[in-house]
């Protein structure tokens, strides 16, 4: 990580938007006996969270859902070998989502997404 001191968005002329809408995608990789993990796909369950007061509320919710087995494979009663989530912020007035947290297991390259920090069994 590189850090450079700067001014607030209003001070630097950068556009800044406040959002209260986020999307959380819970990813789960099923545990298939005898099949190597790199040959197993991932299932997803996506949720839009609205009227959010703070992004920390979204991160707490995502962690709780992941820990409680709220993904599609878990809800179907299938064994899961791995879990992840991704949080997106919705840009107000647009159909644009910005990835702000998490690791997307469907992206081909780590350079295309935020890096994976830890495994969520």
pLDDT of residue 106: 87
Contacts of 72 (CB under 8 A, 6+ apart): 26, 28, 43, 44, 45
Average pLDDT score, the chain: 88
pLDDT tens, position by position, 64-107 = 999 999 999 999 999 999 999 999 999 999 999 999 999 899 88
Q: How far is CA 117 from CA 6, 98, 102, 103, 104, in A?
A: 27, 19, 8, 8, 11
Q: Is the pLDDT of residue 112 over 80?
A: no
* For the chain, domain boundaries: 19-112
pLDDT of residue 84: 93
**Is 86 or 111 the better-scoring residue by pLDDT?**
86
pTM value is: 0.84
Structure tokens at 110: 């780590």
Give the neighbor-by-neighbor strand order of the sheet with 43-49: 43-49, 22-30, 80-90, 97-102
Question: Looking at the DSSP assignment, which residues form a beta bridge with residue 47?
Answer: 24
């Amino acid at each position: 990580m590189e850090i450079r001191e700067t001014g607030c968005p209003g001070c630097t002329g950068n556009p800044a938007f406040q959002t209260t809408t986020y999307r959380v995608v819970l990813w789960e990789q099923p545990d298939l006996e005898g099949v190597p993990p790199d040959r197993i796909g991932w299932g997803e369950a996506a949720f839009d969270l609205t009227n959010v007061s703070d992004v920390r509320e979204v991160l707490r919710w995502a962690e709780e859902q992941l820990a409680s087995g709220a993904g599609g494979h878990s809800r179907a009663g299938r064994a899961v070998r791995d879990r992840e989530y991704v949080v997106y912020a919705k840009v107000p007035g647009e159909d644009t989502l910005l990835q702000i947290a998490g690791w997307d297991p469907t992206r081909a390259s780590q350079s295309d997404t935020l890096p994976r920090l830890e495994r969520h069994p």
